[in-house]
Amino acid sequence: NAGVMQNPRHLVRRRGQEARLRCSPMKGHSHVYWYRQLPEEGLKFMVYLQKENIIDESGMPKERFSAEFPKEGPSILRIQQVVRGDSAAYFCASSLSGGPDTQYFGPGTRLTVL
Amino acid sequence: QQPVQSPQAVILREGEDAVINCSSSKALYSVHWYRQKHGEAPVFLMILLKGGEQKGHDKISASFNEKKQQSSLYLTASQLSYSGTYFCGTPWGAYNNNDMRFGAGTRLTVKP
């Protein structure tokens, strides 16, 4: 049973470019969460999605960041016009339900902005 | 705002015990514990859903004191493989997993 998958694992972008991070949840999971982790820091919640719906985006910066989870295909976190401060590890997690349920994390995408 | 973990870092010798605490200024409805090794994804350890609950597997266990709004993770007879950063997480909204907030982490180093 495949776990949460993320790609790419490493992404390098120059300032001003766009970054697209993909997350495929565990089989049967329809709840997806995105987190950002700066070096040597904890996990910061960004957004919670279910299929075709954004449930909670309270942790998402208001500009340049967007997320989607289409009916078919992976969830995508999109960062437009990246800046150096966007460099971080981005993890997605999935859960079977949206209640107090275990979240399983993917391996993360390490974004480096030059 | 987020749960507060203590201590920030612990160094142990193999076989020693450690306790990691997680406390919150808000009511805790559930507490999730994860371990993350450097450069890897956080790995789920256990979830505690109600006050007074205690859980454990192998030599890692946890307790949840709902009234005190805190949880503790106990590592006994530590092994080298226990090294990593331990995070507690809790839903900041009521009764759901929206906006899961994690503590800043406790870095555990187990030496031979």
* pLDDT tens column, B63-93: 988 888 899 999 999 999 999 999 999 887 6
| CB spacing of B102 vs A43 below 8 angstroms | yes
- Among candidates B44, B96, B99 on the partner chain, residue whose Cβ is nearest the Cβ of A99: B96
Instruction: Give whole-number Cα distances, B87 to A40, A68, A86, A87, B112, in Å.
Output: 12, 27, 22, 22, 23
Instruction: Give whole-number Cα distances, B58 to A74, A85, B14, B33, in Å.
Output: 35, 40, 15, 15
* Interface mutation vs chain A, best among B98, B101, B106, B107, most A CBs within 10 Å: B98
* Cα torsion angle, A102, A107, A113, B3, sign: positive
| CB spacing of A58 vs B99 below 8 angstroms | yes
| CB spacing of A108 vs B41 below 8 angstroms | yes
* Interface mutation vs chain B, best among A37, A41, A45, most B CBs within 10 Å: A45
Average pLDDT over residues B40-65: 84
Average pLDDT over residues A76-104: 90
* 3-state class (DSSP) for residue B98: coil
pLDDT of residue B93: 65
For residue A55, list chain B residues with Cβ-Cβ distance below 8 A: 98
Average pLDDT over residues B33-37: 94
pLDDT of residue B98: 62
Question: Cis link prior to B42 (omega < 30° from 0)?
Answer: no
Give yes or no for residue A99 having a pLDDT over 70: no
Provide the pLDDT confidence category of residue A100 given band limits of 50, 70 and 90: low
What is the distance between the alpha carbons of residues A81 and A19, in angstroms, rounded to a whole number? 8
What is the distance between the alpha carbons of residues A109 and A4, in angstroms, rounded to a whole number? 12
| CB spacing of A42 vs B105 below 8 angstroms | yes
Give yes or no for residue A27 having a pLDDT over 60: yes
pLDDT of residue B101: 84
Structure tokens at A39: 């070096």
Among the listed ranges A39-53, B20-34, B52-66, which one has the minimum average pLDDT value?
B52-66
What is the distance between the alpha carbons of residues A33 and A61, in angstroms, rounded to a whole number? 15
Most distant pair of Cα atoms in chain B: their distance = 43
Residue B89 and residue B103 in contact, taking contact as beta carbons nearer than 8 Å: yes
| C-alpha closest to that of B22 among B8, B3, B35 | B3
Residue A88 and residue A37 in contact, taking contact as beta carbons nearer than 8 Å: yes
- The residues, ordered by sequence, that sit 6+ positions from B38 with a Cβ below 8 Å of its Cβ are B84, B85
pLDDT of residue A10: 97
B1: closest chain A residue by CA? A44
B47: closest chain A residue by CA? A102
